[in-house]
């Protein structure tokens, strides 16, 4: 089973610096790229860490604060200069197109692709995108402006064929497709060979959850349960809980409790306030309740 790769392009919060650019991530599933948020400088990180971007076709924007979407116009401009000819789809809360379209028309006149906007309601938990590998579902959050997280859920996979048994029962190639989908095999004499004899279990369908800027929201737990990996913002330490509440952000401890209660595989923390010189305390706080906690850093890759 190929791993899912999550590349952190930007792990900082409102004020960027050299070490931590604004929020952006690149998820790679079965060779396809999906960008999540696109803060200023995301394209710089993309060329730096990833290079080719022809496999990127969808960008998901959690909310319309500048540190989550101001990198879009630069990225689209560079696509135009590089001669891209595949459309790019952007999914966002309402309002992005009216801001971005005039810029695209002004700065990227000479382009051979379309920018397709898909604006979703931030108040509904709904599937906004799917392809053969996965579905993307919104996760309504609570921040100062309409905000959604995203659940990337791999689709159910085909069963693995048991080649030795297929040979033993002389199963023809024409039957393989339905067997991989779960069907039994009926031979020419009418004998039924149960599917379980002919296959091994399918690979697990993995789930990645991106929880962008939000106050701590326990109601998301049933929706993110058993995720293989959860990214959750952790702008503050618990000692600054008051500030977290005022600004509609979370603490590292809160993020870790969500991760623990949702039984996720691992937790990645990010979006740290620039008031903290290191992430040591943030990580320690999270690990005190959820051991599989990690800290995002620009350029880091997580696999699951």
Binding site for a second copy (CB under 8 A): 14-18, 21-22, 40-41, 43-44, 47-48, 64-67, 70-71, 73-74, 77-78, 81-82, 95, 99, 102-103, 106-108
Least CB distance to a second copy at residue 109 (A): 10
Give whichever of 33 and 79 is closer to a second copy, judged by the CB atom. 79
- With a CB cutoff of 8 Å and minimum separation 6, the contacts of 285 are 237, 238, 251, 252, 253, 256
Structure tokens at 199: 């296959």
- Cβ nearer to a second copy, comparing 65 with 257: 65
Min. distance of Cβ 49 from a second copy in angstroms? 9
DSSP 189-227: T--EE-HHHHEEPPPPPPEEEEE-S----GGGHHHHTT-
Q: Which two structure tokens, joined as six digits, stand for 136? A: 């993307």
Shortest distance, position 112 Cβ to a second copy, whole Å: 16
Minimal distance, residue 40 CB to a second copy, in Å: 4
Please say if 228 is a catalytic residue. Answer: no
Measured from the CB atom, is 74 or 265 closer to a second copy? 74
Helices 96-107/72-81 angle, 10° precision? 30
CA pair distance 280, 103, nearest whole angstrom: 40
Q: Packing angle between helix 252-261 and helix 280-287, nearest 10 degrees?
A: 30
Minimum distance, C-beta of residue 122 to a second copy, in the bound complex (Å): 16
Cα angle 21, 289, 267 (rounded to 5 degrees) comes to 35
The residue annotated as part of the active site, out of 67, 213, 228, 298, is 67
- Report the phi/psi class of residue 103: left, alpha or beta, with left for phi > 0 and alpha for psi in -120 to 50: alpha
Residue among 67 and 228 whose Cβ is closer to a second copy: 67
**Closer Cβ to a second copy, 77 or 195, answer by number:** 77
How many CB atoms within 10 Å of residue 213? 27
- We find the least distance from the C-beta atom of residue 259 to a second copy, in angstroms, to be 29
Residue 35 or residue 259: which is nearer to a second copy going by CB?
35
294 Cβ contact list (under 8 Å, min separation 6): 266, 267, 268, 269, 283, 302
Measured torsion, CA atoms of residues 163, 153, 116, 69, in degrees rounded to the nearest 10: -130
Q: CA angle at residue 263 from 261 to 268, to 5 degrees? A: 95
Q: Do the beta carbons of residue 142 and residue 215 sit within 8 Å?
A: yes
| Catalytic positions, written as ranges | 67
């Amino acid at each position: 089973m190929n791993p899912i790769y999550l590349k952190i392009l930007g792990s900082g919060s409102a004020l960027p610096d050299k070490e931590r650019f604004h929020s952006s991530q690149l998820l790679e599933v079965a060779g396809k790229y999906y960008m999540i948020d696109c803060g200023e400088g995301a394209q710089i990180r993309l060329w730096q860490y990833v290079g080719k971007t022809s496999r990127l076709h969808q960008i998901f924007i959690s909310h319309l604060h500048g540190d989550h979407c101001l990198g879009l116009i630069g990225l689209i401009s560079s696509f135009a200069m590089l001669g891209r000819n595949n459309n790019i789809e952007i999914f966002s809360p309402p309002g992005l197109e009216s801001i971005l379209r005039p810029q695209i028309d002004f700065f990227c006149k000479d382009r051979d692709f379309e920018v397709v906007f898909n604006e979703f309601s931030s108040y509904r938990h709904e599937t906004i995108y799917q392809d053969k590998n996965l579905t993307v579902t919104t996760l309504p959050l609570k921040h100062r402006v309409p905000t959604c997280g995203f659940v990337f859920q791999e689709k159910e996979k085909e069963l693995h064929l048991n080649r030795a048994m297929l040979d033993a029962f002389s199963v023809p190639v024409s039957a393989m497709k339905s067997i991989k989908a779960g069907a039994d095999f009926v031979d020419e004499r009418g004998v039924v060979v149960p599917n379980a004899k002919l296959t091994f279990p399918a690979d697990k369908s993995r789930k990645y959850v991106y929880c962008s800027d939000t106050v701590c929201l326990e109601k998301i737990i049933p929706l993110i349960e058993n995720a293989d990996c959860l990214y959750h913002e952790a702008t503050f330490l618990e000692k600054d809980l008051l500030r977290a509440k005022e600004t509609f952000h979370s603490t590292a401890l809160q993020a870790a409790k969500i991760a623990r209660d949702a039984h996720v595989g691992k937790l990645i923390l990010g979006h740290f306030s620039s008031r903290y010189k290191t992430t040591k305390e943030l990580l320690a706080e999270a690990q005190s309740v959820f051991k599989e906690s990690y800290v995002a850093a620009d350029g880091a890759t997580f696999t699951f």
